[in-house]
A and B are shown apart, each in its own frame.
Chain A
């Protein structure tokens, strides 16, 4: 029989693999990352003396346990790192490994492809020296490097504080945090955070630690522009008081929360629904993560939920899949995991209020600001297309006319902003402008891969 296939080796995929291995099942685990750990528990470069406790803080033990458990099951799984799943079609995953195309058939599929940063463009955001928040963390965890000497962490995300603290504890003194969510919104969101007091507390601890270490955290600012000639030299913002401020810097880490990676789920035929709290389209799955026949979604790719939800969700999907295949485990375990995932996702939705996606900024973006980096499409071009006679108020049609989202990244970065600008320019609700359709390949595929087909 074909194996169970897990796509992704972040916390969700690792945890699913561990759960299956412990039940004596040998899954195939593929991930385009060269090392397991995903984003949240990214494997620290073992060649550098990076201290997990300094990077992961209170999470370090969890990080170590997950990696230890995963290493322990390696002999019991078929683990294929650095392997991209570029398409899913009729019960098969189409992969690319070492430049060669191949196929994997499955008897059950667990998709755990995680998330990427969500970015709201701001004038100057395409300047060299601007990184996504995730990239700023990857530089540290992979290369033991900072993205600059004076880094400003800007946007709206719990990871903003986390990344800033990680930089600070590694010696970065000249840093600042610009949080675009107003304090009032944070307070209003507080009741929603009761679903995970532990995590909420962690957030407060981050805040306090940054304060103690003297890192300026500006709340409720409005980002105006990232300035510079050849590269970043300053970031300009408006304080809640209305005062215009500028911070000199040579790098900016920009992020406004996360965007679920949902292309594979779409290629696997999942239905989608608009999640108003997270303000994005997500694949529809039941409480176990079941999204179709022998098809499960876990982790951030199912719903932004953070590392704990990913770990619980991965194990849950494995248990549920085994049950569907006729090998149910203890139902109490499944119930408990289900409860954990549901609670953490509720929490995450609360968090989305505390770290707002500043969607209204799309309307304020100057016409000249680039929205699509791959195809160099500006906000003004999108608006012109939408407002033209017979202009489309649907993102795929806006893409067709303007090329926004048509480039190498297939709208991963510009997609959220494209939807907001389209909604604003057409005076439509955000869930009425649709979502960019996913098409294979999920990531670019070299032509030469085809003649090495095995």
Chain B
């Protein structure tokens, strides 16, 4: 079989791959996405759907805000709906420790230019009467939003296709290298591909692609337990979460309340899926009932999780390879890649087109692991051995 040649090959048809393809194709560049399964069927299609701006890693704000601006116009640009909704996001503190985090996060968010509103107990009770009175305080950011992950990746990938991007499903990359003249990428079912640029957007599997270029990263896969209730009258407008992350919830217009919470669970050996331990579902149910007592009569109808790539410093790997010119990474999003995906796609497209980007992403460079990095404080709290 003769090799197919394309300008940029993207390994992975998740949201990062889709946005990268869309930006490149829109700029008239040739690009092909290789997806081992179905587009948007992994993390990008299973996640909670939060486009949260509050409480991000301070180094990520420029990228995150660039991403949010794209989210805000993506439906108009593609002509499709992914249920993007500027719901706002409410952080809730129920104890002193959370109160301290609440203030710290608000300060960081404000320094990044975000408008964050402080709400004390009475203000909360007036505005969100269904919340438990035991909540001490909250912060509200109205630019935060939500979207439907089941629709978003397909929407962006279709738009990329409309601009000429190639997308191959059921096409697993089994080996990747550089011949000196071009990237050579071998697939299980579609033969050999050649390209000038290669993007590693393989999510939780990104470590395997990086390893082909002698870049080792301490990536592992896990996912938070999630569940959804039956549809109920739609009253909860913003997306809400305890600052500790033990309960995160939002209600979609259809009426279902979607719930997630830490600690996360490691994916099983083959990395094919992350189970949801029933006791974590029960913990989440009890935790939700505590925040919104009116939901105590609601019924849970389904649980699920996803396979997400995490790194000990809890920030993704974004930017050029440290070993191979023309190779760019965008993987290991540590549980917050849905929000930043448009930004990551835009940055990678910048780098491929011009070799540089105005959005600071140095902190996310893969070479940081050469020195060995410090684990984030969230790391111990947000995972457990189960």
Contact = CB atoms under 8 A, between A and B. Distances in A.
Interface of A: 86-87, 89-90, 92, 94, 101, 388-390, 392, 394, 396-397, 400-401, 403, 406-408, 410, 439-441, 444-451, 453
Contacts of B296: 446-448, 451
Given A89-B275, A447-B229, A447-B295, A441 B161 contact: no
Contact of B301 (A389, A400, A410, A453): A410
B298 interface: yes
Contact of A439 (B39, B150, B288, B302): B302
A369 to B, nearest CB: 21
Contacts of A445: 281, 285, 299-300
B298 to A, nearest CB: 5
B283 A444 contact: no
A204 B289 CA distance: 56
A410 B299 CA distance: 13
- Most chain-B Cβ atoms within 10 A of its Cβ — which of A87, A390, A410? A390
Given A101-B282, A390-B161, A448-B296, A441 B288 contact: no
B278 A450 contact: no
- Most chain-B Cβ atoms within 10 A of its Cβ — which of A86, A403, A407, A447? A447
Given A89-B277, A447-B229, A447-B288, A390 B154 contact: yes
A446 B298 contact: yes
Given A450-B282, A453-B282, A389 B161 contact: yes
A408 B45 contact: no
A444 B299 contact: yes
- Most chain-A Cβ atoms within 10 A of its Cβ — which of B39, B41, B229, B302? B302
A390 B39 contact: yes
Contacts of A444: 230, 299-301
A388 B158 CA distance: 9
B286 A390 contact: no
Contacts of A403: 254
B297 interface: yes
B41 A397 contact: yes
A394 B229 CA distance: 24
23 contacts: A94-B278, A389-B161, A390-B157, A394-B38, A397-B41, A400-B41, A407-B301, A408-B230, A410-B301, A439-B276, A439-B302, A439-B303, A440-B281, A441-B300, A441-B302, A446-B297, A446-B298, A447-B285, A447-B289, A448-B289, A450-B282, A450-B285, A453-B282
Nearest to B39: A390
Contacts of B41: 396-397, 400
B38 A440 contact: no
A406 B302 contact: yes
A397 B38 CA distance: 9
Given A449-B285, A450-B289, A390 B158 contact: yes
Given A90-B277, A390-B161, A445-B300, 20 more contacts: A87-B278, A389-B161, A390-B157, A390-B158, A390-B169, A400-B41, A401-B154, A403-B254, A406-B302, A439-B302, A439-B304, A444-B230, A444-B299, A444-B300, A444-B301, A447-B297, A447-B298, A447-B300, A450-B286, A453-B282
B83 to A, nearest CB: 12
B151 interface: yes
